[in-house]
Amino acid sequence: MRLIWYEWKKLWKNASVLKTFLFFFILSGIVFWSDLGKNEEWLSEYLHIHSILEEKGGDVSAWLDEKIETQSTADYEEWVALEQISREVKAIDGYEAYRASIQNQYEKNQEISIFSDSEWNQTDYMRRIAETYKELRITAPMQLQPYLGVEHLLDFYAGDLLAVIFLIYLVSVVFCQEEKTGKTDFACAMYYGKTRLFLAKLFVVYISFTAYILFAFFLNFVLEEAFVGPVSFSAAIQSVPQYFAVPYAWTIGKYIFVCIVLKVFAAAILTAAAVVFARRFHSVILMAAGITGILGFSIWAGSFFGGGGLTAAVRIWNVWSFLRGKPVIGTYELIRFGNFMIESVWGFLPLLVLTIGMIMIAGTGSRRERKRKIKIKKGTNKKPHTLFYYEVKKMWIYQRGIFFFAACILLQGLTVRQYRDYLGTEEYYYQQYIDRFGDRITKQTAADIAAEEDYFSNIERELMQEENVYRADALQKELERRMGLEKYVNRMEALKNDEKEGIFLKDVQYSILFCFTEVSRMMVLLLCISFAFLIPAVFQKEKETHAEVLQRTSVCGGAKLWNAKIAALHLYTIPLIAVFGIISFVRAVSEYDLKLLAPADCLPQYWSSDIKLPVIVFFVTGIIVQCVSASAVLILLSAFGKRVKNQYMLTGMILGGAVVPTLLSPYLSARWLRMIHDFFFVFTYQSQWMMAGLLFIFAAAAAITGKEILCREKNMAGS
DSSP string, 182-196: THHHHHHTSTTTTHH
- The span from the CA of 581 to the CA of 256, in Å, is 46
Amino acid at residue number 261: V
Q: 11 near 20, Cβ under 8 Å?
A: no
Q: Residue 155: which of 307, 39, 311 has the closest Cα?
A: 39
Helices (H) and strands (E) in the chain, counts: 34, 2
Q: 619 near 585, Cβ under 8 Å?
A: yes
How far apart, in Å, are the Cα atoms of 195 and each of 163, 187, 467? Answer: 27, 11, 84
Q: Residue 252: which of 103, 91, 109 has the closest Cα?
A: 91
Q: Is the torsion defined by CA of 612, 615, 620, 624 positive or negative?
A: positive
Please give the radius of gyration of the chain, using alpha carbons only, rounded to the nearest integer: 31
Q: Could you state, in chain order, the average pLDDT of each consecutive group of 10 residues for the chain (719 residues)?
A: 82 83 87 81 83 74 71 64 83 83 77 50 76 85 86 86 87 78 61 74 91 93 88 88 88 93 93 88 78 83 73 85 89 80 85 88 59 46 68 78 84 84 81 86 86 86 79 80 86 85 86 90 88 80 59 60 83 92 92 87 83 89 89 83 70 78 74 81 70 60 59 54
Q: 322 near 266, Cβ under 8 Å?
A: yes
Check residue 369 and give its pLDDT.
43
- The span from the CA of 186 to the CA of 170, in Å, is 21
Q: 511 near 517, Cβ under 8 Å?
A: yes
Check residue 96 and give its pLDDT.
84
Q: 181 near 544, Cβ under 8 Å?
A: yes
- The span from the CA of 318 to the CA of 399, in Å, is 31
- The span from the CA of 218 to the CA of 159, in Å, is 11
Check residue 372 and give its pLDDT.
43
- The span from the CA of 161 to the CA of 266, in Å, is 13
Check residue 59 and give its pLDDT.
67
- The span from the CA of 267 to the CA of 160, in Å, is 10
pTM of the model: 0.69
Q: Residue 595: which of 578, 619, 579 has the closest Cα?
A: 619
Element (H, E) at 337: strand 334-337
Amino acid at residue number 28: S
Indicate the SS3 state at residue 527. helix
Check residue 634 and give its pLDDT.
86
- The span from the CA of 30 to the CA of 22, in Å, is 12
Q: 712 near 555, Cβ under 8 Å?
A: no
Amino acid at residue number 668: L
SS3 sequence, 501-524? CCECCCHHHHHHHHCCCHHHHHHH
Element (H, E) at 340: strand 340-343
How far apart, in Å, are the Cα atoms of 597 and each of 439, 494, 503? Answer: 13, 20, 10
Amino acid at residue number 163: A
Q: Is the torsion defined by CA of 439, 445, 451, 454 positive or negative?
A: positive
